[in-house]
Amino acid sequence: MTDRALPKSASVVIVGGGMQGLSCAVNLALLGIRDIVVLDAGYWQGGASGRNGCLIRPGFGGHEWTRLFELSWREWTTLSRKLGHNVMFTERGYTMIAETGPSADMLRNASRLHREYGITSEILTPRQLSGVLPAINQACVTAALHQPRGGMAPHHSVMKGYLHACRKKGIDVRYRTAMTGFDMHDRSVRGVYVKDHLIRCDTVVIAAGPQSPGLARQAQAEIDGYMMRIEAMALEPMRPLIGPALALIDSLAYFHQTARGEVVGGTEVPETPQENLRADVPAMAAMARVYTRLFPQLADIRILRQWAGLLHISSDLAPLLGQHPRVRDLWFSAGWSYGFAGAPGAGLLMAKAIARGKVDEIMRPFALDRFEKGNPIEEAGVVMIKN
């Protein structure tokens, strides 16, 4: 995107110019850090930040996730002001649907937990449900949990907002600029290489989505997790039919209708993890089956396009946030599966930890060494397949 020469030194180099990387960069700048460089091998919005489902909710099923995402949701409500750009976050609500008894119980427990944290969240009666989602086929629903202040934001406008804020704060963001190696001294990173060019720095943050484990290995810093493809698709646009965002616990599906009328969503099918960005038939077919069952009006609507995105999935599906336990000054914001919703909050927490050296209580459970210490995070409220 730019022909300027790369700097010789920086305070922080962030590898990955997606939402996590840019959010971290903006929050570091707001805490007074200067000379931040963001490097990205691909194009702007080329990774999961431009391929996700755009959904945002504060409440999950367990304490750790709920605390993190409630914080992030609060960031969302003021994000447009913070970035000086309208990110078009809309509180159209977020409804989680259970189709079986056990999932209905999980939603009831989640609702109690949400209230503990002051999150508006309610189990809907069938009558309330038809008020919120008149078009849904209620015969499929055993329980519905509604978070009226959740919602969605178009990822294009959010990424525009983050890039706009980075540029205004003097952050050097480079796309199509691949990091090729680390400068290491005594198990501590001292810089990154772009081909032959060395950028010396105090801190490196890896926020490279599916590429994070591979980049970590280059610094002899193993991290948990693996690369996985997930898929989404968009239906042709129509006037509003579906108000809130929807997540189906049992069908592993999530979707919403965008401001321009397309119904966008995805689901997962059990498959061998794929390391490519090619869309396939089974996920599209499974998603179409969900639409046909839940919203019979969509049966004859046409599918515009389908696409795939790559994630870095950790063993407990939760993000990996913090410094590597054995390589100093190497930080991670990786392992994200709800990264779009979580980025504004995670960027804030990461920036505070890097700039002030103090890891927040909300961020601590997501530490990288939680698996070796026997503390993986249990969470029942995520809509993700477990391989």
Partner 1 sequence: MIRIAWNNTTLHASPGDTVAAALYRHGITTIASTRKLHEPMGYSGSYVGGVLARVDGRPNVRLDQQPVREGMRVESQNRWPGASCDLLSLARFLPPRWVHGGFEHGRFTPRRGRAYLLWERLLAHLAGVGRPPPRLPSASERPARKLCVDVLVVGGGPAGQRAANDLARSGRTVALVSRGATLGRYAQAMGIAPAALHGDVTVLSGMELCGSYRCGRLMIAAPVDPERGAVAIEAGRLVLATGKSSMPPMVRNSHLPGVMDAHAAVLLGHFHAVPAGTAVAVVGTGAETMVARRLARLGSGIAYCGDVSGLARIHGHSRVTGIDIGNRRIRCDAVVHAGAWRSDPALAFQARAEGVLQVSDVMAADADISSVGFCHEPDQDIHVPDRMDPALRICPCMDVTAGELMGLIDRAVTDPEILKRLTSCGMGPCQGFPCWESMLALLAKRTGQPVGRLVRPSHRPPRRALTVAQAAGLCDVVEPL
| Smallest distance from partner 1 to CB 251, Å | 12
At 60, the amino acid letter reads: F
How far apart are the C-alpha atoms of 200 and 203, rounded to whole Å?
9
Pick between residue 6 and residue 259 the one whose CB is nearest to partner 1: 259
- The DSSP H or E segment spanning 107 is helix 101-116
Q: Whole-angstrom distance between the N-terminal and C-terminal Cα of the chain?
A: 38
| Smallest distance from partner 1 to CB 89, Å | 7
* b/e per residue 241-262 (b: at least 16 CB within 10 A): ebbbbbbbbbbbbbbbbeeeeb
Distances (CA, A) of 148 to 98, 151, 384: 17, 8, 22
Pick between residue 62 and residue 309 the one whose CB is nearest to partner 1: 309
| Smallest distance from partner 1 to CB 331, Å | 24
| Smallest distance from partner 1 to CB 53, Å | 15
Pick between residue 46 and residue 325 the one whose CB is nearest to partner 1: 46
Q: Counting every residue, how long is the chain?
A: 387
- Taking alpha carbons only, the member of 12, 113, 129, 131 closest to residue 64 is 113
Pick between residue 31 and residue 299 the one whose CB is nearest to partner 1: 299
| Smallest distance from partner 1 to CB 191, Å | 26
What are the phi and psi torsion angles at 129 (to 5°)? -60, -40
Pick between residue 67 and residue 160 the one whose CB is nearest to partner 1: 160
| Smallest distance from partner 1 to CB 172, Å | 16
Pick between residue 161 and residue 365 the one whose CB is nearest to partner 1: 161
- Position of tokens 């601590």? 364
